[in-house]
Structure 1
Amino acid sequence: MGITAMNHFTVLTHDLDATVKFYGMFGLNPGWRPPFGFPGAWLYSGDTAILHVIKKDTLTEKDGVLDHMAFSAVDLPAVAARLTAAGHEYELRRLAGGGIWQLFTRDPAGAKVEFDFAENEPAPPGWAG
């Protein structure tokens, strides 16, 4: 008995609309969510809710810390362009020894988000890594 798969991540945010819009740029769409009695959203990839977002105006020491979440992704140039167009900074690098692309950014609440792309993806225009 033990862990068999990742079910979902939950992020806390002070701006629910901005956070839902941020993840929507990458194909995660709001869907059904139980009536919990507090504001939030469940964001889906296809039929699977993989990111839960909870609106919380104040964080306490008991809220915990998440270093980052990582998503497998496709179309590196398009993802980089969406981030740039929306005014989000990012860091891009190639993984040493494997060659996969790793793009790091932050969502509107400050959570670090990693997008991993196959090594054969083209670099975004102007990248001079």
Structure 2
Amino acid sequence: MAIEGMNHFTVLTSDLEKCKAFYIGVLGLTEGYRPPFLFPGAWLYSGDQAILHIIAGRSLPAESQGIIDHMAFTASNLQLVVDKLNFYNIAFKLHRLIEQQTWQLFCHDPDGAKVELDFAASEPEPKLDIAREGFNK
């Protein structure tokens, strides 16, 4: 057996609409088909692939479910993403890794899951609102 790729991540949320607003409105995923499960949630897509499953209607665990630190997505249009994060007052950290040919932007979803967005290093350096850059968690 060999792993052939990543299928999806699942996040738990205390507020389904707020969580969807972040991943759809801010990060640009789209909501698509989800089987008729007996619990609330959403499947979010990049193109025709459901890459993020959201589960609502459960209590968030008091203790960690494991050791996953963050989820990472390949992204484009760094300035647009920075502008959206600033518009929604979402704190972030941005690093340019020239040797890796990438920009790394880190932020948190509404329930605290850490999200990494990777952009090509060739994208221009974005104009930042210095007062908002940095984690507030």
Identity %: 52
Matched, 1:38 2:39: yes
- Distance (Å, rounded) in 2 between the aligned partners of 1:29 and 1:12: 18
- Code of the aligned partner of 1:18: K
For residues 65-113 of structure 1, give each alpha carbon's deviation from its aligned partner in whole angstroms, at most 9, with x where no partner exists.
Answer: 4310000110101000001101100000112632410000000010000
Residue pairs, 1:45-84, within 5 angstroms: 45-55=46-56, 56-61=58-63, 63-84=65-86
- Code of the aligned partner of 2:38: G
- Distance (Å, rounded) in 2 between the aligned partners of 1:126 and 1:5: 34
Deviation at 1:64, TM superposition (A): 3.3
Of the candidates 93, 102, 106, which is equivalent to residue 91 of structure 1? Answer: 93
- Distance (Å, rounded) in 2 between the aligned partners of 1:127 and 1:99: 24
Change (3 A) 1:96 1:119: closer
| Runs of 5+ unmatched residues, structure 1 | none
| Runs of 5+ unmatched residues, structure 2 | 131-137
| SS in structure 2 at match of 1:97 | helix
The total of aligned residue pairs comes to 128
Greater alpha carbon shift after TM alignment, 5-14 vs 89-98: 89-98
Runs of 4+ in 1 over 6 A off after TM superposition: none
Greater alpha carbon shift after TM alignment, 87-96 vs 62-71: 62-71
